Amino acid sequence: MYHFLARTPLFRVALSLIACCLLFGLVALQISQTGTARASGETVSVWLTTPDQANLLSPQPALTFGSVGSNSTTITINDTQTYQQMVGFGASLTDSSAWLIYNKMSQSQRNQLMTNLFSPTSGIGLDFLRQPMGSSDMALPAGYEGTNAPGEYTYDDMPAGQTDPNLSHFSISHDLAYIIPLLQQALQLNPNLKIMATPWTAPAWMKSNDSLQQGSLLTSDFQVYAQYFVDFIKAYQAQGVPIYAVTPQNEPENDNVMPTMPISASDETNFIANNLGPTFAQNGITTQILGYDHNWDDTSYPTTILSNSTAASYTSGIAWHCYAGNASAMSTLHNSFPNKATYETECSGGTWEGSNWPNGFQNTMELGINSARNWSRTVVRWNLALDPNGNPNLGTANSCTTCRGVVTIDQSTGNVTYNSDYYALGHFSKFVEPGAYAVASNSFGSGNIEDAAFKNPDGSDVLVVYNGGGNNTFQVEWNNEAFSYTLPAGAAVTFKWTANGSAPTPTLTSVPGSGYYYIQNLHSGLVLDDTNGSTSNGTLVQQWAESSGDANQEWIFVSAGGGYYYIMNLHSGLALDDTNGSTSNGTQVQLWAQYNGDTNQEWNFVSAGGGYYYIMNLHSGLALDDTNGSTSNGTIMQLWTQYNGNANQEWRLVAV
């Protein structure tokens, strides 16, 4: 079952904060919209990268859609057939990467690099980072270059034989030196950046062998380890770094000599079901839980997690690595669990690829295309930065000594080489916005013309094409129009266009009056209502006959960025929320204190025609729905897969 098409979100400009509105006067919204989209000679913007590096994300002369020709290599795009909603593209700011960027570059060099990595306008706009919780193998070895680097570390290390079950010694002080400052800078450059976190190991005292290498998590410490996650998320949030998602364990089937902690599928399932999920709920943690976080060659492990109803209720999706198997495994699992999200979260470049150019470029392009074509919401490489020799790394027996960063930093000069990974990621990240939908297109497979297509929240279409060595000239057909393009072997191109005559993003005009709205359902005629005028977190949202002046029924929209909004109730001041971050049909909708960056609370508006909208949740991809098509006061509202023409899911905004 596929996601809906995000054709036309409702808003593009932010409202002031509610408090400011109350203090300084309210403004109402007047929404203006033009007619429906129709293709007619659209202009296509073009960016090209060639393996000889003569073109590196270089703008090319614009193209124009014209009549459809005859070409056996034709990419046909249907942007009304939508799949998963994209979250982002990126890598990992490992301990090694952060130390190089922060300590081996001048401030001006560092600022330029960070801008090139994260700025959506002046750089490639990376918008997803996967952060190790403690050290991975890509961390400074103990005493590296005369530093006080601890080598392997967690956030609660104790002398051998000692324990800390109350986490009294928990501290993220190591990360405050250079990791968190760079994460803060990245968030400033790109407020849409999402950060997930995953541990390579629990503290040694929680493990069977009292070591950060290998060894299993003691079942007696499952609960304290769940609290360890809570403390980490709260500590990072206190530094202005919200954590979007976590996985319980990096590569749970890996027992290499480096920070590792093998955990069986049944143990991870039990940990999520009985410890991590409930502990998050008890502490008001809305960070998503993703399961597995290992290779494509094993679908049985994530199947075990999602087949357990309790674990599945806390698990938003599954994370995948690329080092064994192939990307089709993500579709295999998706077909079994279509309501669970898919994330590709690690795929390193390195000397095993044969070369940076063209091999590394090919691998990164194919990673992006194949991930997007197999339901992944993210495309993630590994180290953001390393030096020319793949350093620093822990130097243990199985630490990666042949990895390549997205960029390479010369430790002696601070000079940067932007590797093939950077440009390949940029072909996606600079043009595919958070919240875009993957849309239908045909691809000709490895060794030929390969592609992935997307629809942005602003209505623009993006097509990313890599030529794996097949026919150089291909045709792109869309809405009964087409253009042709000749692409050298081993090169990539990104096309972007917007339909002429399409409905632009609605504009907002200040007019006298209030900035609040009744949200009225087409089927029932009833309006969204704060049940019993509650001000408590967890209050379920009902529908009720509209009553003029009833603050329980009045709502305002506060920008969350990227075309999404927090829907805030006037009476309670709470936000409309996807309960427990569920991705299941039938989830009841609640009110909860608004939390920046919480995708459970972020919504966009998709035109249903006639002045009505589907109200879509960013986290789940589901639509706000009148449960069972009820016309009764007091019916609790739910989330459900969006269906065009379903009046239970169509809402209009009536100015108060």
Task: Check 42, 251, 344, 477 and give the catalytic one.
Answer: 251
Cα separation of 122 and 116, whole Å? 6
289 CB-contact burial (10 Å; exposed 0-12 / middle 13-18 / buried 19+): buried
Q: At what angle do helices 179-189 and 95-103 cross, to 10 degrees?
A: 80
Has 251 been annotated as catalytic?
yes
Q: How far apart are CA 534 and CA 536, in angstroms?
A: 6
- Distances in Å between the Cα of 400 and the Cα atoms of 54, 138, 319 are 31, 7, 21
Q: Which amino acid is at 188?
A: Q
Q: Which of 42, 268, 344, 346 is catalytic?
A: 346
CB 537 within 8 Å of CB 545: no
Strand-strand pairing, 74-85 and 473-478: parallel
Determine whether 346 is an active site residue.
Answer: yes
* CA count, 13 A, side-chain hemisphere, 286: 22
Identify whether the C-beta of residue 444 lies closer than 8 Å to the C-beta of residue 470.
Answer: yes
Residue with tokens 């509610």: 18
Tell me the C-alpha distance between 378 and 297, whole Å: 19
Question: Could you write out the DSSP letters of every residue in 362-420?
Answer: HHHHHHHHHHHTTTBSEEEEEESEE-TT-------TTS-SSEE-SEEE-TTT--EEE-H
Cβ–Cβ < 8 Å for 557, 508: no
Q: Three-state DSSP class for 156? A: coil
DSSP 470-532: S-SEEEEEETTEEEEEE--TT-EEEEEE--TT--PPPEE--BSS-S-EEEEETTT--EEEEGG
Q: What are phi and psi of 401, to 5 degrees?
A: -105, 0
The catalytic site residues sit at: 251, 346
